[in-house]
Amino acid sequence: MKYDLVVVTAANKAQAKGYRAQTRGRKNIIVIPDPGDKRVGSLGATVNALRKIPAAKNVLVVHSGGDARRTPGYAAMGKAFVPMPDKRSMLDNIIEKMETLPLPRKGGLVVVSGDVLPVFESSKCDFSRPGVTGVAYPDGAFEAKRHGVYVTDGKPETGLFAVKDFLQKPDVPEGSYLIDTGIFFIDRATAEKMKALPVAGDIYVEFPKLLLEGFAPFAVNVVSPCTFFHIGSTREILSKLGDGNTYVDAVHRPMELAGMNVVTNVPPGSKGVLKLAKGECFTSIPYGKDKWYDLRYNIDDNFKSDGLWEKHNLGEIMKNVDYKRLLALRESKEAPRSVRATAPVRIDLAGGWSDTPPICNNEGGVVLNAAVTLDGENPIEVTVAPRKDAYVKIVSKDLGKRRLIKSAKELADHSDPSDWCALVKSALAVTGFEFGKKGLNIVISANLPKGSGMGTSSILGAATIAALLGRADEAEIGELTLRLEQEMRTGGGWQDQFGGIVGGVKLLSSKPGEKQEIRVKKLDVEWLDALLKERGLLYFTGQKRMARNILRKVLSFYAENPHDFARILVKSLKKDAEAGAKAIEKKDAAALAKAINNYWRDKKLLDPGSTNDRVEEIMDTVREHVDAATLTGAGGGGFMFMLAKSKRDAMKIKEKLEANPPSMYSRFYAFSLSNTGLELS
């Protein structure tokens, strides 16, 4: 761990006791309550912590002294311990993210809030200046009016700037402003000086005033883009952690839920079925020696301003929570309720189109591709859970759509690819699902732009099939995904699904024949991973396209095969995939770049629609800085993968495209090679 010490602050001794119970066994984490058993503000808590902690090079302070009144289902645990989508706590995710910050050799203090996880490209930060350095991102007036705002001499673009002013929720006109992320880096000299400050005040209100008055130098990193994972209300628990209709965590009682329900921490017992009306929520809090407080509340109750906290006497109950029973409840195994599949997406480096029937049936296919995460996460997620009735409910989290299927006829209608449910219906068909025998809730999510060229549809289909089957055999899932695409009448090859099913960088190949058996040769990722971290870029062009339209043109051209040119191009595609794999094995960046460039050339020769004026303008803008560039997938838009000539050239490319984006949707995505591929839990 990068931090010698992680300090979690608490409002009082009772809360600190709970936090210690939840971090027991973590030697580098200590919990420090505010003095006098009363809240002293985040600045006061920081000063208090500095006075008490031993000398350490790098320290992370996570402020967690709130009551979590707007999320009563987790008030006993604290917001920092809310389980995130990856099943780890918010605290664990915050620590992991803060470990990616490029701290200076001399070390220092990082201060963050325990109820929000900012997601941004950490490598853009610079904490080398003396004093205090914050992190901000550019956004509009709506966000500026709700948060702290930095004022600098520079324009609101990426870089490091001296801070001229710091405004709290200012009433500003439309425009771009530097929004505070809540992250402060404080060098060791300033942290030592802070010990003399009063133990009081807010670190986001009083502290910036002190800095602007000359207490220490004050700078800010501006990063873009930046998003936040924040659970600020029960409704946000439902939408961000649940499926939009129900969220159930650590529940050991049978339930009947009418919808819009959040249910947490319920022990087994003889109280029978827990029945909740629409919008009704429930949690149980163990307190005293053997008591449980059953709290029923509405999804829109916030307990902060409506008097419900006091009505239920939760202040006193929280002081007497029995954490031993609470944690035992959470650690005990529940009956299986759902299967969750997650998967990365893929970047095709060479050989695409050779995997597409009938090309692969006649010629055999060879493709070089890599499984990647975006912004640190697997973009593809599917959850399948049983229902008590015999219907099938399909929810798309990224589209914000849901449909309840009540007949076999409706389920069998899956040949229209424009129907957002067609993919799930087809997955049910190829896995042998029989309507009427059991009901299912199926939640799908693809957290990246549509028409991305990253194999999204095929990989989402593969993940849905795996979740339905409850197993992830690579060959079986790959073959069923091909059948799924035939059911949908979209066509397509095998490289997309294998690109996400199988982790890492691999050379995929098949022999000619009707039945395609895919051979997978995994390549060493260490060298390529280092190369891509330094020089690799992934940019969404903002141009969306439908892959099947390009597919039809390519297959038509292959069928006509004028002057045997189509077959010559297919051989070239396969040859460069093999050359790219050899380049990775030999750690030869120039040879890899040549293979990628040849791939882009051949895709355009197969179908001129693989590119367009907007894409070529982007290419022209960055051409002097790249060794290789190609559109992922079929082309025509979506994501552009670039291998810059150097780390400096990568920065230049970012500067140019961020200064003049071709569309409002265009942006860079942080990406990393993923070794895990499709996973089930």
3-state SS string over 249-292?
A: EEECCCEEECCCEEEEEECCCCCCCEEECCCEEEEEEEECCCEE
153 has a pLDDT exceeding 90: no
Residues 298-338 have pLDDT tens digits of 999 989 989 999 999 999 999 999 999 999 999 876 555 68
pLDDT at 265 over 80: yes
pLDDT at 339: 84
**CA 309, 20, 41, 101: dihedral to nearest 10 degrees?**
-120
Q: What is the pLDDT of residue 257?
A: 83
Predicted confidence band of residue 273 (pLDDT cuts 50, 70, 90): confident
Cα angle for residues 68, 36, 314 (degrees, 5° grid) = 30
Distance CA 109, CA 98 (A): 11
CA angle 558, 562, 568 (to 5 degrees): 65
* Out of 269-278, 280-289, 648-657, least confident range: 269-278
pLDDT in tens, 498-511: 999 999 999 999 99
pLDDT tier at 470 (50, 70, 90 boundaries)? confident
Tell which residue, 180, 294, 339, 256, has the closest CA to residue 679.
Answer: 339
- pLDDT of 166 > 90? The answer is yes
Q: What is the per-residue pLDDT for 158? A: 75
509 CB-near residues (< 8 Å, 6+ apart): 364, 365, 366, 367, 518, 519, 521
Mean pLDDT score of the chain, rounded to an integer? 92
Instruction: Give the pLDDT band of residue 193 (cuts 50, 70, 90).
Output: very high
Q: How far apart are CA 488 and CA 20, in angstroms?
A: 53
Per CATH, 5-230 and 342-673 having the same topology is answered: no
Give CA–CA dist 311/67, Å, rounded. 15
Architecture category of domain 342-673 in CATH: 2-Layer Sandwich (3.30)
- Please, which residues bridge with residue 119 across strands? 227
Number of C-alpha atoms within 13 angstroms, CB side, residue 328?
8
Phi (first) and psi of residue 592, to 5 degrees: -65, -45
Average pLDDT over residues 193-219: 97
Distance CA 203, CA 226 (A): 21
> What pLDDT does residue 104 have?
95
Q: What is the pLDDT of residues 55-84, one digit of tens each?
A: 889 999 999 999 999 999 999 999 999 999
Each domain of the chain, given as residue ranges in start order, spans 5-230, 234-331, 342-673
Bridging pattern class, strands 255-257 and 274-276:
parallel
Q: Calculate mean pLDDT across residues 472-494.
A: 85
Q: What is the pLDDT of residue 451?
A: 83
Residues 204/182, Cβ–Cβ less than 8 Å: yes
Tens of pLDDT, residues 529-566: 999 999 999 999 988 765 667 888 888 899 999 999 99
- Residue 200 or 485, more confident: 200
Whether 619 shows a pLDDT value over 60: the answer reads yes
Q: Give the residue carrying structure tokens 């297959």.
A: 555
- Give the pLDDT confidence score for residue 17 in this predicted structure: 96
pLDDT digits over 561-610, tens only? 999 999 999 999 999 999 999 999 999 999 999 999 999 999 999 988 88
Closest CA to 373 of 340, 342, 352: 342
User: Looking at per-residue confidence, does 193 or 275 come out higher?
Assistant: 193
- Work out the pLDDT band at 258, boundaries 50, 70, 90: confident
Whole-angstrom Cα Rg for the chain:
27
* Residue 574 burial by Cβ neighbours in a 10 Å radius (0-12, 13-18, 19+): buried
pLDDT at 472: 78
CB 135 within 8 Å of CB 220: yes
Average pLDDT over residues 250-262: 87
Q: What pLDDT is recorded for position 474? A: 86
Calpha distance 537→381 (Å, rounded): 24
pLDDT grade, residue 224 (50/70/90)? confident
d(CA 224, CA 412): 45
Percentage with pLDDT > 90 across the chain = 75
**Protein fold of 5-230:** Spore Coat Polysaccharide Biosynthesis Protein SpsA; Chain A (3.90.550)
